[in-house]
Every structure is written in C-alpha cells, then in structure tokens.
Amino acid sequence: MNKKIILTLVIAIMLSSMVFSVSTTRSVNESVEVGKEITIAINLDLEGEDPSSVIVLEKIPENWELVNSNPGATMFEGEMKWLLFGSSLKNQTIEYTLKAPANFDYVSLNGGWKTLVDTGSTTGDEMILKFVPQPETPVGEPMDYTMLIIGAIVLVVIVVIAVVVMKKKKK
Amino acid sequence: MKKLLIVMLIFLVTISFVNAGLTLVSPQENQLVSIGEELEFEISSDPGDYEFNIVLVKVKCSGDVFWTEVYEHYTQGYVLAFKDTIDLEGVGKNYCDFKVQVVQSGLGEYKSDSATTVVNIEPKDWIETVVTRNMGGSIYPGGWGKVDLVFSPGEGVSYSGLIVNEFLPSEIMDPTEMGEDPVNTYDPNHLIGISNGNFDWDYVDEENKLKFLLMSSSPLIQNTLYYVIQADQNLEPGTEIIFNGLWDVLGVQGEVGGKQVIVVSGDYVLPECPITDQQILEYVNKWSKKELNIDPGENDNIMMQILEVWKNCE
C-alpha cells in the first residue's frame, strides 16, 4: 500500500481518537476601588499532546498599571505575553496584578492565546467594575440608635392613633 | 392599615435595585451580514433603577485573539430596550462572535451583563457561491503556514453538501506527509480542520490532492476549512508556490478563488538542528526585544517556528 495512504489512515485514526485543545479562562473579582490593586488569574488548560509552544496574551487596560505577574510576562506596547515552551508549557495558572486608576467606571479585559497554527481568546470574567465603598461606621464608637428608636416609637404612636381615630369615625 | 401596607410595599419595590437580565433581540444567531452594510442590533432588559448605562458592542472573528470594540454608547436612566446600528467596515472576516455588554450604575453600585451570538460577515457585494483561499503571502524555507478555504453559499441559495478538491503544490509537505514525523502529529485536529462543525477529508495520491467533504442536514452556512503546510527546507528564496483548487456544490462548480501564490521568504532562515538550549534562550531574548526579524509583526510567528524546529530536533 502506498506510504501516503498509510499515513493518511494513521492520521484519520488519530483524528477519531485524539482531541487536542488549548483554552484559557480568566478569573477576577467583579469590582475594585479606584487606586487599589486587583489580581487576575488566567487558567491555561492543555488537552491532548502539547504543541511546541503557546503564547498567552493579555492587554493592559489604558491607564491601569501592571504591578507584577507570575510567571513573569514580557511586555510589548500595552500587551503582556507569556511564551511557554519546553518544561514551562503545562497546565497552570498565570496571575498578574493591576492597579486601578484614580478614576474609572469599568474596564474590559481582553486576551487570548496563539500556537503556530491556531488562535483563541480567553473566556471567563472579562470586566472589572468600580467598587463604591459605603460610608464606614467609626471604629470603636458604638452606634447611636437613640434617634432611630424615637422615630420608630413616634411612627407606631401615629399609626395607633390613626387606627383608633378611624375606628371611632366608623362607629 | 391595608393601605399603609400597600404604600410600604410600593416603596420597597421602588428602592430595590434589580439586576437587568439582558437579551439580544438582534442580530439573530448565524445572521448573514455584508461588509459595508450597517448591522442593526437590539437589546432588551428588565427595568432597574439606574443612573446611567453604557452599551458596548464587541466583535471577534475567526483567527482573532482579541475582541474589537466597535460601538460604545452612554445612556441616562435604565435601558429597557435599545436599538441602534453599527458599521462593520474593516471588521469582517467571515465567522464572527458578536457580543453586547451593558454596564449599569445606580444607587452607588455598578453592575454588568452581556449577551453573545454568532454572525456571519460576508464580503461586500457578495452574491454568488464561492470558495476563497486565504493564506499568508510568504513562508520561510522549512517553515509552517496555514491555508484557509472559506466557503460562502450564494445569496438566496442553500446547499446541504460541498466538495473541495485542493491540488497541492510539490514544494510543500501537506498534512498527510507531516504525519510521518511523530512530533508534527501532535495536533492532527489542527493540521486539517474546520472552523465550525464537522467534515470529512481524504488524500488522493494519484493527483496529489486533498479532498474535503462538508455535509449538513440543514443548509450550509459560511464556514472555513483549513490545512497546515510545511515548506521544503531547500527552497530558494523568491520561489513561488502555486495553489489550485476546485469546489463543487449541487449543480454548481467553480475554481477556488482568492490567494493562489505563497512566495518563499528570504527575510529569515529558520535554524536547523541541533539547536542548543543556549541558542533557544538567545532567540527568546531577541523575541522579547522584537529583534528576530526586520518585520516586528513576524516576531511571534518566527519564535514559534523556531520552537517547532527545536522540538522536532529531539
């Protein structure tokens, strides 16, 4: 039998028996305060035999500052890239920390991966929203419920009076 | 007392912050869109007490790594229904994911929601059934490349089957030959494949051709078949590698259009085995500085080609 036909059959058998995929999934808290740091995790999942290399990419949002990343990223004009090959190419979680700017409402995260012959985008969480902290109660000072209690009593008295007045009127 | 309760209930409902459930009314899944025409999109959401909303539209087509933001609109109050058009000029590359996101703010809180569908973006003024070949303009001696065969069923017609015969140039190793090297068979699904759905393929030795068969119980939509090639190591720079192909649907035949020629590049010579770890580190160092090639756009591609050679050495 011709060599190419045999090879074709081999690949066809492999096609049916082997599924290969690269995927990246992002996890991040939904919100962060302005000026605070937030850590983003990218989970790289390889199934089947590994390609020779994978490049994972993430865009750094405008006006946001990269604080650190693990493993270390290579910077390319607003993009972080992790070149993974050899022993570094394995299922793993890549983490990086960003510092939010002084003013923002939301930011979209954008990233993906490349192999020699394929590309894909990162799924999962893709947006960080502004967290607006609620006014804090001063620490150590017990909250003063006096006005609240007085208000509630007044309200109850008014309601009772109203009900009594309405009943009398009906009579 | 009853009235008092009703008033309190209305008050509670009014102040409660309800997260909007976002629905994408249009475009519908697999809707055809022509480049140059405006695409209408419409969303609906549950009411909520919002001070403002930002409506974002993003598109990501096959082969893209990043989402491209094509539309941003700021509205006051809550979005119950929102309708607008966007211009997709410059975006279209056949099979595209289409996403609408709404960021909302009310009572000091921020919330977001999104809805996604898939649209088929067709070439401008496209009417007739075509199969178009897309590939890079150049390939390095010994390097790898990807050939896309994009199928677009004509306007107003529907087919349930497609055959594409791709006659392979003698200067390349096709995916069936690459199967000889166990390292290169790491990913047969990515050496020959399809962007969406299932297909069959065969190699016909007598004619040195790859035969693709695409069938569906429902009418075929735009789709992309692809295969990976490797250029011969000994090719001279400037050599033109010419591709030919024929497609066939029920009663209609034609030649595969689009790109027909890949030129063997002299810009870069891929290293040959053996490649030491030290050399790999030097290549990585050059990659990190975008110094692998005079064309910085080729930086990632060359690095991955070198790593493919390096892995095959072992």
Q: Is the pLDDT score of B11 beyond 50?
A: no
Is there a contact between B300 and A55 if contact means CB atoms under 8 Å apart?
yes
Q: Do B2-122 and B130-266 fold alike per CATH?
A: yes
Please name the fold of domain A19-130: Immunoglobulin-like (2.60.40)
Is there a contact between A15 and B186 if contact means CB atoms under 8 Å apart?
no
What are the boundaries of each domain within chain B? Answer: 2-122, 130-266, 271-314
**Token pair recorded at residue A17:** 């028996």
Q: What backbone phi and psi angles, to 5 degrees, belong to A159?
A: -65, -45
Buried (b) or exposed (e) across B146-182, using 16+ Cβ within 10 A?
A: bbbbbbbbeeeeebeebbbbbebbebbbbbbbbbeee
Long-range CB pairs of B111-114 (<8 Å, 24+ gap) are B111/A129, B111/B19, B111/B20, B112/A106, B112/A127, B112/A129, B113/B19, B113/B20, B113/B21, B113/B22, B113/B45, B114/A126, B114/A127, B114/B22
Length of chain A: 171
- What pTM value is reported for the model? 0.77
* Winning range, highest mean pLDDT, from A31-40, A49-58, A125-134, A147-156: A31-40
Q: Is the pLDDT score of B88 beyond 60?
A: yes
- A159 to chain B: nearest residue by CA? B1
What are the boundaries of each domain within chain A? Answer: 19-130
Q: What confidence score (pLDDT) does residue B55 get?
A: 87
CB-based burial of residue A161 (10 Å sphere; 0-12 exposed, 13-18 middle, 19+ buried)?
Answer: exposed
Q: Is the pLDDT score of B256 beyond 90?
A: yes
**Preceding omega of A71 cis (within 30 degrees of 0):** yes
A112 touches chain B (CB under 8 A): yes
Q: What confidence score (pLDDT) does residue B7 get?
A: 53
Distance from CA of A130 to the nearest CA of B (A): 6
Quick one: which H or E segment has residue A22?
A: strand A21-27
Q: Is the pLDDT score of A22 beyond 70?
A: yes
Q: Chain A residues with CB inside 8 Å of B177's CB?
A: 4, 7
CB atoms < 10 A from the CB of A155, how many?
10
CATH dotted code for B130-266 = 2.60.40.740
For CA atoms B7, B9, B15, B20, the dihedral sign is negative
- B63 to chain A: nearest residue by CA? A119
* Separation between Cα atoms, residue A128 and residue A107, nearest integer Å: 5
Is there a contact between A49 and B179 if contact means CB atoms under 8 Å apart?
no
* Separation between Cα atoms, residue B311 and residue B304, nearest integer Å: 10
Which CATH architecture group holds B2-122? Sandwich (2.60)
In the predicted model, what is the mean pLDDT of residues B220-248? 90
Q: Chain A residues with CB inside 8 Å of B51's CB?
A: none
- DSSP secondary structure letters along A120-168: EE-EE--EEEE--PPPPPPTTSPP--HHHHHHHHHHHHHHHHHHHHHHH
Q: What confidence score (pLDDT) does residue A16 get?
A: 35
